[in-house]
Structure 1
């Protein structure tokens, strides 16, 4: 089964870029919902899954919603497949029109999400070369109807198959290479191929190539213009550097996806048409070669594309012994009753290793802030919220806030959360506490190499010496 661009990339650059660039109108009277359908390429004689993407300018629950998809243009021989989806009620109104509803509420937020249904569009062999439009319309209670269109093309189907998973070992700061293979698993010549890179922070590109795209020193994509012969296997050797601040021992993951030239062009066009960030900037130097190898797979005649076998994973085993040391930074402030004071709550990664939790998307640092008694918070910084459950509370009797960093926390960097509090009493030695990654039964970094500096005090109007330490609860299970 051939799948649409968004599904082939697992939302990838499309969803991430859409979420980043979405801007909410100021003081919008009603939620603003956005809809995006990635470009669709159907293999002649096969079917393609379509997955519309939705997001909103705020959290919103949509009742009585419906999604209508309609085909227009020169699309004889192209039609919706009668669905059999137990999670959504989709009805083929005509070969060119399909409507999906769901009895459950559709929860949307600023994060791009797919729908509970993946309609299929099929094309006959005779439809090869036909083009048209796929139009999607989303309606629901309390929102303005939103409509979008995308190109639909019926193309020749081929099957690129990626190589097997591999593992290499390196010490932080060492160079290493990844060997990535692709096989043309059809009886047709494949005219060009592209490679998409999704690697952890530890992968750094020490060299640039003219046929590749980069974001700083991270390799994002490469294109190869040569023909791939039927049944033939090709290999590219990509040089890498394991960053000096990579944790060790640890594992650093890379995912590599092969696309046909046409599918890659669809991706680039989609990003450009929607005003989304591109894949990267062109590199300099010579071109990175894709070399032919003896075929290692049997030739299988297929007319559809199977993108599920386009991925190759490479795991780098980081050898050595270096970890991450977070330290909380103490805060002292002075003020009079009725006034306000700033509390810059800071966390530093002393290294030597950068903490990269990007693959799980969990925050690298969870910071629990206990507000001093006799004060009232007037400004809550971005990334922080009032603690409400066991994973966010270490002292249920105190006023606490939970602050979360991004998933990547580089060695040597500092993150600061600027609280402002009003003094509602005459206070001396009013103490609070900053705790970095305190224990919890939840997904949280727990291998700090020096836990003695994970906590720091907040003191307002320091005076006499206060002995003892603020209350700290035992591990609590997150609900």
Structure 2
């Protein structure tokens, strides 16, 4: 398993399960200590007697500690569940002690696989407590607990988290989909939900319906009949296929969740699902139906993944300036920003970072009288070589604007309207730049054409009204159709959420 794969898988698993790994002082006593030990395991639901049980990771970590360890006491699980530990652990009575490896700064989550099974005689609804204590020779003990509950029903577990290093444009990839019923009841059918990133086109299957997710990707919902017995593994024969699209670039993914068909959650709101026909998908093996109550025990482990770490491609994002024409004293609305010329799309759906941004240096012959606060900030000079963003107000000379969307397709633009009051017809021009030099941003290395990273904002007399035509960094004239992007009213929340980036100094932006 590669470093990238292990890092993403562990972080995504932690997110899905609601696990929070706190690699910091977990107890007040640690405040006086240089090192520490961390451990975290979620509450767990397992099937009743007859279920095969399931594994759950305990995430652990240690730093600057001598002989770090975690001691796990199972006495609170008596009559409820049994636990199997890795061979690296040692047991004395009801307590098992496991060494905790020191953090090597790799970013990879370390975990102990613990296997839980229902205890003989455990009844549905029984609960028990697992107590675990972290410590080291130079770190005070810190105790935590997690709850294990016995339930009756189906418990589908997705088993495949896979990846490939690279894929080419036009290549068809196949992801395996494998599930295991860890419950004590048989399931009657499965609903599979596939989340396909924007750079992939899913194959057409007659068992499925398809919808655009609103961010360039596709959501595919597939329903399958059949019986899925406890303690049995099932695989989607032939896998699920997708083809790499021409605008794909960098990281792409195909994730899936699996639920019992009769009690599957509602499909995402606001999307229109349509059929595409195509070949049939089948699960194997399948066994005879049993009379059972169909209850999903624990849906936190129903998620599987397939990653393409890299799709080689480039894009060309061009700055869009404007030639402002009018008379002194006239207020002219202008639309400026950036346009993606392709061939790759810009996609930050996973990171939820702004997909595009630009900076405006206001021309000397104009004054800003209106600016959209929901997407732009005014950048002020601190006087010591650093700058700070503040809420956008008229009258500034340098603004930074971010696109609140997470996908910018080929040919699409991010344009923002400023109101400029003409103060002079013979002053120096301003500039739109797709990277903010005052904030330390450098040109993106994967942009194939830096000749159009900037575009002028000029002011000239015309004797008439109007703002003139937008111009790109290579003076190609108007963007076809204007490229106007209507911004969501809620986008102000994005600006608020970005306040963590308010301390900006010259140098790398780190993006």
Aligned twin of 1:201: 198
The structure number with the bigger radius of gyration is 2
Give the TM-score of the pair, scaled to structure 1.
0.56
Distance 2:257 2:328 in 1: 61
Distance 2:259 2:47 in 1: 17
Aligned twin of 1:308: 300
Distance 1:413 1:213, change over 3 A: closer
Does the 8 Å contact 1:8/1:307 carry over to 2? no
Q: Which runs of 4+ in 1 moved over 6 A?
A: 7-10, 42-45, 441-444
Aligned twin of 2:243: 241
Does the 8 Å contact 1:234/1:290 carry over to 2? no
1:163 counterpart = 2:163: no
Secondary structure (helix, strand or coil) at the match of 1:267 reads coil
Distance 2:252 2:415 in 1: 28
Aligned twin of 1:435: 433
Does the 8 Å contact 1:391/1:476 carry over to 2? no
State the Cα deviation string for residues 359-383 of structure 1 (Å, max 9, x = none): 1111121111122234332332475
Distance 1:43 1:417, change over 3 A: same
Does the 8 Å contact 1:430/1:461 carry over to 2? no
Distance 2:364 2:430 in 1: 8
Secondary structure (helix, strand or coil) at the match of 1:461 reads strand
1:475 counterpart = 2:501: no
Aligned twin of 2:175: 178
Give the TM-score of the pair, scaled to structure 2.
0.52
Distance 1:186 1:200 in 2: 31
- Out of 376, 386, 396, the position equivalent to 1:385 is 376
Aligned twin of 1:98: none
Distance 1:211 1:254 in 2: 15
Distance 1:445 1:377, change over 3 A: same
Secondary structure (helix, strand or coil) at the match of 1:420 reads strand
Structure 2: gaps spanning 5 or more residues: 1-14, 19-44, 49-122, 127-150, 288-294, 381-386, 463-504
Does the 8 Å contact 2:343/2:410 carry over to 1? yes
Distance 1:164 1:391 in 2: 46
Shift of 1:162: 0.5
Does the 8 Å contact 2:186/2:230 carry over to 1? yes
Secondary structure (helix, strand or coil) at the match of 1:452 reads helix
Number of positions where the alignment pairs a residue of Structure 1 with one of Structure 2: 307
Distance 1:209 1:379 in 2: 53
Aligned twin of 1:13: none
Q: CA RMSD in A?
A: 3.8
Aligned twin of 1:369: 360
- Out of 244, 264, 270, the position equivalent to 1:277 is 270
Structure 1: gaps spanning 5 or more residues: 1-6, 11-41, 46-123, 128-154, 296-302, 464-472
1:230 counterpart = 2:217: no
Distance 1:443 1:450, change over 3 A: closer
Distance 1:448 1:158 in 2: 49
Distance 1:191 1:253, change over 3 A: same
